[in-house]
């Protein structure tokens, strides 16, 4: 399944939620316009079971499902790819396990140089952030708008922005060069379908 060129990137909010609630929220976000979903769970109990169910749900809507951090879980669950950070394994390892068509995203924080290397090694997309205060990643180092601007000039793969993004501040990131906005709390702290529509309006406003 192909990676979207632009749009809303939903990342699951799993803390203190049952699998059924997570699935219902993902469906609502997709109905609101999310074009990509990442299963992120820092304290999983039945990760494989839930990941497989999320793959089924997302594929029903023709939306790719990405696994956060865990290359082996992505392979076992039949997910469309994996998102890896600086300690989550190499792009080459992910390609070997998941195949040439897998979506592989790489966290680049505030480092364009890391993104350039990731592109050279075959990453599908790169992600920068956090750009605003974030309840999901409160200790994450901040990223600068200038990083997006520089990355847009130097990279040929899609750029994802993450971290405290709301409908009220997302437009500035799109204007700076972000192609996708990755959101957790802004989507799932309230009604996901309505929240997703508010983010989708940002892409309409920028002519997408």
- Catalytic residue ranges: 40, 107, 137
Bridge partners, residue 107, by sequence? 127
How far is 148 from 160, CA to CA, in rounded Å?
9
Judge if the upstream peptide bond of residue 130 is cis by omega within 30 degrees of 0: yes
Residue 200 near residue 32, CB atoms below 8 Å: yes
Rg (CA), the chain: 16
Bridge partners, residue 66, by sequence? 38, 81
Two tokens at 36? 């990509």
DSSP-derived secondary structure for 91-121: HHHHHHHH-TT-EEEEEEET-HHHHHHHHHT
Residue 55 near residue 12, CB atoms below 8 Å: no
- Which one-letter DSSP state was computed for residue 177? T
* Residue that has been written with the tokens 């989550």 in this structure: 88
């Amino acid at each position: 399944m192909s990676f979207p060129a632009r749009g809303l990137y939903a990342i699951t909010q799993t803390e203190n939620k049952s699998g059924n609630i997570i699935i219902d929220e993902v469906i609502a976000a997709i109905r609101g316009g999310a074009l990509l979903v990442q299963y992120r769970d820092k304290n999983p109990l039945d990760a494989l079971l839930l990941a497989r169910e999320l793959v089924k749900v997302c594929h029903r809507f023709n939306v790719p499902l990405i696994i956060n951090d865990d290359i082996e879980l992505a392979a076992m669950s039949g997910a469309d790819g994996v998102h890896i950070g600086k300690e989550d394994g190499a792009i080459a390892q992910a390609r070997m396990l998941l195949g040439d068509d897998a979506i592989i995203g790489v966290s680049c924080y505030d480092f364009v140089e890391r993104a350039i290397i990731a592109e050279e090694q075959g990453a599908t997309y790169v992600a920068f952030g956090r750009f605003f205060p974030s309840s999901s990643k409160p200790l994450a180092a901040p990223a600068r708008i200038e990083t997006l601007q520089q990355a847009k000039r130097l990279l040929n793969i899609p750029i994802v922005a993450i971290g405290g993004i709301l409908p009220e501040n997302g437009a500035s990131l799109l204007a700076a060069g972000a192609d996708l906005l990755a959101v957790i709390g802004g989507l799932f702290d309230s009604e996901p379908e309505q929240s997703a529509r508010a983010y989708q309006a940002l892409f309409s406003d920028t002519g997408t």
